[in-house]
Amino acid sequence: MLPRMIDIARAMLLGGEVGDYQIGRGVSRPVLATFALTTSQFVEIVRDATTDREVAKRLLSNTKGPLKALDRRLRSLTVADVPEELRVEFHQLYGRDLPLDRLVFDVLEADDAQKFGAQA
């Protein structure tokens, strides 16, 4: 998730069109909470870093929870886990007919492949 968030932040900084992508809601929310950061603080860290490795190093100094637990949780999120307040938007972006047990990351990867081709 972190590389995806870094890419979105870089696009925001460059004035790029980030479309439906966002930082601070959905799956990125627990990531920011683990690092005790707001969206704007995360974007500032990305702005000040020259590499993804620098971003990661800075984030590790802010860690407020076990990273393995975060990783396990994010990898296990299913369509059924989408919070009620985000469900309408999620369905608009990805469709209403997704199986409830489908992993959210599989949905995101399929969407990236559809929008950007197989290299996404």
Number of structural domains (the chain) is: 2
Q: What is the C-alpha to C-alpha distance for residues 26 and 102, in angstroms, rounded to an integer?
A: 16
Question: Which DSSP string do the residues of 18-86 spell out, in sequence order?
Answer: -TT--SSSTTHHHHHHHTT--HHHHHHHHHH-SSHHHHHHHHHTT--S-HHHHHHHHHH-BGGGS-HHH
User: What pLDDT is recorded for position 118?
Assistant: 60
- Residue 110 structure tokens: 């399929």
Same domain, 85 and 102: yes
- The per-residue pLDDT for range 5-34, each reduced to its tens digit, is 998 899 888 886 777 778 888 888 888 888
Same domain, 12 and 69: yes
Same domain, 57 and 1: yes
Lowest mean pLDDT among 6-15, 46-55, 98-107, 111-120: 111-120
Same domain, 103 and 82: yes
Same domain, 7 and 54: yes
Question: Higher confidence at residue 12 or residue 116?
Answer: 12
Same domain, 60 and 1: yes
Same domain, 58 and 100: no
- The per-residue pLDDT for range 42-78, each reduced to its tens digit, is 999 999 999 999 999 898 877 766 778 888 888 899 9
Same domain, 61 and 24: yes
Instruction: Find out whether 61 and 87 touch, Cβ atoms under 8 Å.
Output: no
User: What pLDDT is recorded for position 47?
Assistant: 95
Same domain, 65 and 106: no
Same domain, 23 and 82: no
Question: Higher confidence at residue 51 or residue 86?
Answer: 51
Domain span at residue 82?
A: 77-120
Question: Higher confidence at residue 21 or residue 38?
Answer: 38
Same domain, 56 and 91: no
User: What pLDDT is recorded for position 120?
Assistant: 46
